[in-house]
Structure 1
């Protein structure tokens, strides 16, 4: 297969030669760098590349060109190279136009000229864009293959685990795909063996657990050493931020994650209000970057393992793992986040994983092509899911118990939902029942004011209805409120809490009722339930861990 292409577009011969030279110096080994002198010429080049089947990874265009501006070119380029990353070179006077293009045409980045020195100004930007492109366009020759039923809850769990851990895979429906039937025959697989997971250079896995799958993929499922300075339970934004700051400051650090890094944020199709990313980024992208950053500083990540309890042994805390084993550390940060609250509706439990899902991966949208999709929820997570699903679904219906969205959802999301022609909001409504033979087929929706019930046809229901903290594994020594959220710092002195602080000193800000055990992110009482605040608390927890370790 030919190298992917980087296309530069500029009408100034000297600038065109300079940007092409700098890009070739850095990327020529992996990419073919091609130059065009105008927007129309660039469109001709893109058309030729499309006919040849040559992928285009990046289009780097000047804004001010005669006949066609850079933004006009990048908008039309989507026809021939829909997956290409778009970089606009601008003068300072054009920054407002460039920012507007982020929303209007999906511009990925704009860079002010001149870009010298390229090692500091150009290459870091292009490196990030090309990394994102490669992640979205992997080499599929070594993909994991998954064979199963479309409406199987176990198949959905396996696919979700692979997607959230950034493992490329190919999906084969045993009912629809002849290749799936051939693979089952080759493996002598029975219906009870599904989902069948075929790992390159490995044995066929028959309905594997996530732990078995993780081990077969070579993911780390056990700690490398018995004692650490810091053990972080949970790999969401708070846990990953704590890992980055702890490892970068020299603390031996391990993160234990029961599913995949990212938490609920990792499933978000778009996080658009996170500082420093004007175009926004997906939860998967944020997670991928954070994991790479933590790993770079030396933090370990133990996956597919649940912590089922902990013990305090003098100056050391031990996290007890499901299936046996433990990890000891001098300090512990709980960053287990929250899970979506379960919806009470007749027939729903039997159909969970078979058309009914809690949360939604960005990758779930494509399988809803041309269908009617229903979403329960009114917070930002539900709004982002609606926008993402609407790009593929025929119609998306938000089922909202309240009379409006303004009390629970950010304004920018409400504006986009209102503007989308195929998104409908049903206020003062709730799901009363789910029905289907083997998978979801119909929903019963009730109007909360009139009590009237309407039955609608749909194979898809995604649920985003609030948060329940993941603290069931904690013992009685960790004080929680009536809803299970962990109490920290001065809140331990709140009236009505059965809290006892065992030391003469006051508890540190994020410290729990057990000295040396901290809580950060959504699991903590009165946290903001936002990605940025979780990252901030994760970073802050490491500062407090340093203070604690200096005391013992």
Structure 2
């Protein structure tokens, strides 16, 4: 062992990571004998011999190990053959990170140094421990979260991406992994020898960027988000023919709130999302008008906390998985959700929380430059591309305002293009005041972007816009355009199920639906009994994070009522 309990053996000369971990005592606490005794009823004793692996990178983890005797060395191994020591853990410490709440793949290796005796607590028993032993559970939960945060910040675990940092494929996959809290790191062929050797071996064409190297050495060429997620073991699957109490489609604030409250009250829950937890709110740089956060919180941090809570209470979360259609016939008493890839999820009730898809304005050449200078959210990944540049941002709502303020800290100038003549009707006052006080944000009213120019399949170079008052057109050299022009409801997967939509495509609920006239229905129930809608996808919702979370909590009472009635025998 090295100094301070950190392993000293290192196959490539890289420094151990644990010594640099902040909040070390909270991240790697030592349990007392009394605390370990309280945990014994949740696990079983396992023994390992010297050099034997307890868990392995890229393979499903068996749960949390509590060390009763001996030491375990934790190392990180990537697909390029690098092995980096993380930490050595001894008696009284526990081995796991947040992914083990749901039995996902391990992000590091753990092997015994000498003979080791452990208490192994499988995922379902670990969740029971966190709930039953509240004070002990709080310490464990904090450590599990901090360990994942440290892995992400240190670039430890997960895939290695190889390619130009500003290529559309690299930005796409970095954004996907970042928003899902999955560690990874990027290598540039011009500055890293291993990356250059791999490129020479695979001879990728421009359409192959990036290469994604998995821990087992497999190399994927410019994979889709779903292909990468499956290779990494990110996607959990439905448990055989299991019928859930509730299937929640959408993992934004409304869907996460539903999952947390429903699962904490004992309902079996599955949550599906096509991209990432947090939805559009997850891409917000700072949310300042949500109760309880006077200094604000990023959308990703807020969603990440809710995501961990949902897992703590046992919700099965499947990302990225797309719901293709909903069968409402209930021939066996359950709804059937058809998923991409051919799988099916069955549940006694369904909560539509699919939110909205980013609206694509009528702009010449828009599709050509999506992912090549045109963005629909503003995360640190996109902000990095804007350093000391002039950029344009379209939109006048809160999301646009938050993005403009965030990007102003990176870009030289932000041209905020707004169709109307002011912001007062669509944006919170605190954001308007902040925008007006930011010197490098220029408000361009009564204007719309009409065209984009640049080199084909390379990058955006120029943006054209037109005054809605005079019709005069002008242009500027702009390489990054951010679109926050509203969103359309993501309800296409409901076609043929009988769920009533309004003229805008939003889901009609409660007494608003003509089909519900004459029957007693919950305010959030749709025209199909057992199907509910919450958040931005619902007709008449307030389109705010707080409102979405409130509806997600509120719908759980209606779920209990429906499931209780469905379980009653017919008279």
Aligned partners of 1:227 and 1:133: how far apart in 2? 31
Q: CA deviation at 1:468?
A: 0.3
For residues 156 and 276 of structure 1, the distance between their equivalents in structure 2, rounded to whole angstroms, comes to 33
1:402 to 417, 420, 432: 420
| Deviation at residue 153 of structure 1 after TM alignment | 3.8
Report the counterpart of residue 432 of structure 2 in structure 1.
Answer: 414
Query: Which whole-Å CA distance do the structure 1 matches of 2:276 and 2:21 have between them?
Result: 33
Change (3 A) 1:145 1:26: closer
Structure 2 residue 314 is matched with structure 1 residue 298: yes
Among residues 264, 274, 280, which one is paired with 1:264 in the alignment? 280
Give the C-alpha shift of residue 443 in structure 1.
0.7
Q: 1:527 aligns with which of 506, 531, 541?
A: 541
> How far apart are the structure 2 equivalents of 1:24 and 1:156?
32
Aligned length: 438
Distance 1:173 1:386, change over 3 A: farther
Matched residue SS, 2:337: strand
Is it true that 1:3 corresponds to 2:30 in the alignment?
A: no
The structure 2 residue matched to 1:275, chosen from 275, 291, 300, is 291
SS of residue paired to 1:146: strand
Whole-angstrom distance in 1 between the partners of 2:508 and 2:312: 32
Alignment of 1:5-404 (within 5 A): 131=146, 134-135=149-150, 138-150=153-165, 152-173=167-188, 180-225=195-240, 226-312=242-328, 313-314=330-331, 315-404=333-422
Structure 1, unmatched stretches of 5+, are 7-22, 31-118, 494-499
Return the alpha-carbon distance in structure 2 between the equivalents of residues 179 and 436 of structure 1. Answer: 33
State the secondary structure of the residue aligned to 1:440. Answer: strand
- Comparing 237-246 and 472-481, the one that deviates more: 472-481
Distance 1:27 1:336 in 2: 35
**1:480-495 correspondence to structure 2 within 5 Å:** 480-493=501-514
Residues 473 and 130 of structure 1, relative CA distance in 2, 3 Å threshold: closer
Taking the TM superposition and a 5 Å limit, the aligned residue runs for 1:400-549 are: 400-437=418-455, 438-476=458-496, 477-493=498-514, 500-501=515-516, 505-549=519-563
Structure 1 residue 417 displacement after superposition: 1.0
Distance in 2, Cα, partners of 1:460 & 1:227: 46
Q: Distance in 2 between matches of 1:175 and 1:205?
A: 20
Distance 1:355 1:416 in 2: 26
Q: Is the 8 A contact 1:202 1:216 kept in 2?
A: no
Asked if the contact 1:340–1:359 (Cα under 8 Å) also holds between the matched residues in 2, the reply is: no
Q: How far is the alpha carbon of 1:364 from its aligned partner?
A: 1.9
Task: Give distance in 1, aligned partners of 2:147 and 2:296.
Answer: 13
Q: Is the 8 A contact 2:152 2:181 kept in 1?
A: no
Q: How many angstroms apart in 2 are the aligned matches of 1:29 and 1:132? A: 11
Report what 1:87 is aligned to: none
Question: Structure 1 29/253 Cα, relative in aligned 2: closer, same or farther at 3 Å?
Answer: closer
* Inter-CA distance 409–136: structure 2 relative to 1 (3 Å threshold): farther
The alpha-carbon distance between structure 1 residues 186 and 246, as it changes in their structure 2 partners (threshold 3 A), is same
Q: Relative to structure 1, is the Cα distance of residues 534 and 141 closer, same or farther in structure 2, using a 3 angstrom cutoff?
A: closer
Query: What is the CA–CA distance in structure 2 between the aligned matches of 1:527 and 1:355, rounded to whole Å?
Result: 32
How far, CA to CA, are the matches of 2:511 and 2:146 in structure 1?
Answer: 44
Residue 104 of structure 1 corresponds to none
The 3 A distance-change label for structure 1 pair 138 and 25 is: closer
Partner Cα separation in structure 1 for residue 213 and residue 179 of structure 2: 18
Q: CA deviation at 1:455?
A: 1.2
Question: Matched residues in 2 for 1:27 and 1:350: separation?
Answer: 45
- Give 3-state SS (helix, strand or coil) of 2:245's partner: strand
**Gap change, CA 1:137 and 1:250, over 3 Å in 2:** closer
Aligned-partner SS, 2:259: helix
C-alpha offsets along residues 126-147 of structure 1, whole Å, 9 cap, x if unaligned?
A: 9599949945962324352212
* Structure 2, gaps ≥5 residues long: 1-15, 31-133, 567-571
Question: What displacement does 1:25 show?
Answer: 7.6
The CA deviation string for residues 412-463 of structure 1, in whole angstroms up to 9 with x for no partner, is: 1111111112111111111111000021100111111111111100100000
**Maintained 8 Å contact 1:211/1:221:** no
Q: Secondary structure at the match of 1:224?
A: coil
Q: CA RMSD in A?
A: 2.7
Cα distance in 2 for partners of 1:445, 1:360 equals 21
Contact 2:416 2:442 in 1 (8 A): yes
Mapped partners of 2:485, 2:26: distance in 1: 48
After superposition, the Cα gap between the structure-2 partners of 1:26 and 1:166, relative to the gap in structure 1 and judged at 3 Å, is closer
Shift of 1:204: 1.0
Measured against aligned partners, the alpha-carbon deviations of 1:197-237 in whole angstroms (never above 9, x if no partner) come to 11223411112122221112121242124311111011111
Q: Secondary structure at the match of 2:244?
A: strand
Secondary structure at the aligned position of 1:219 is classed as coil
- Please give the alpha-carbon distance, in whole angstroms, between the structure 2 residues aligned to 1:550 and 1:505: 17
- CA drift at 1:168: 2.2
Shift of 1:381: 0.5
* Alpha-carbon distance between aligned partners in 2 of 1:137 and 1:336, rounded to the nearest angstrom: 27
- Secondary structure of the 1:549 match is helix
